Amino acid sequence: GDSVTQMEGPVTLSEEAFLTINCTYTATGYPSLFWYVQYPGEGLQLLLKATKADDKGSNKGFEATYRKETTSFHLEKGSVQVSDSAVYFCALSDHWGGGKLIFGQGTELSVKP
Q: What are the residues binding other proteins (CB under 8 A)? A: 36, 41-46, 49, 89, 95-106
- Closest distance of CB 6 from other proteins, Å: 10
CB of 87 to other proteins, least distance (A): 10
Residue closer to other proteins, measured from CB, 104 or 111: 104
Torsion from C-alpha of 84, 100, 73, 19, nearest 10 degrees = 10
How far apart are alpha carbons 47 and 103 in whole angstroms? Answer: 14
On the CB side of 16, CA atoms within 13 Å amount to: 1
Our CB check for other proteins shows the closer of 29 and 96 to be 96
- Closest distance of CB 113 from other proteins, Å: 27
Between 29 and 43, name the residue whose CB sits nearer to other proteins.
43
- List the one residue out of 13, 7, 9 whose CA is nearest residue 83: 13
- Which CB sits closer to other proteins, 17 or 87? 87
Q: Is the Cβ–Cβ distance between 3 and 25 less than 8 Å?
A: yes
Number of other residues whose CB lies within 10 A of the CB of residue 51:
15
Nearest distance in Å: CB 89, other proteins: 7
